């Protein structure tokens, strides 16, 4: 019974991680063009920080290659 409970917990964690991964799999340009209020659907604060970090990395990359 304990083994089943641990297995269920692991499945829940994996399902949550996959859901966040799918939710964040959209073009970064959509975030750059949008406003912070459009990020309301990112319920997990860690996910929001990851998104903002990815935006900053993309912006720095674009500046380096002269897109901005």
Instruction: For 10-32, write each residue's pLDDT tens digit.
Output: 666 566 555 555 555 555 555 55
Provide the pLDDT for residue 53.
80
Q: What is the extent of the structural domain holding 35?
A: 2-65
Please tell me whether residue 28 adopts helix, strand or coil conformation. Answer: helix
Tally the domains of the chain.
Answer: 1
Instruction: Show Cβ contacts of residue 62 under 8 Å, excluding neighbours closer than 6 positions.
Output: 68
pLDDT in tens, 44-64: 566 777 777 887 777 777 777
pLDDT of amino acid 50: 77
Please report the pLDDT score of residue 65 as a whole number: 74
Residue 27 DSSP code: -
Q: What is the pTM of this model?
A: 0.28
């Amino acid at each position: 019974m304990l083994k089943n409970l641990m297995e269920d917990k692991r499945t829940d964690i994996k399902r949550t991680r996959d859901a966040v991964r799918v939710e964040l799999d959209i073009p970064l340009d959509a975030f750059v063009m949008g406003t912070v209020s459009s990020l309301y659907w990112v319920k997990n604060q860690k996910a929001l920080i990851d998104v903002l970090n990815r935006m900053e990395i993309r912006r720095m990359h674009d500046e380096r290659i002269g897109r901005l």
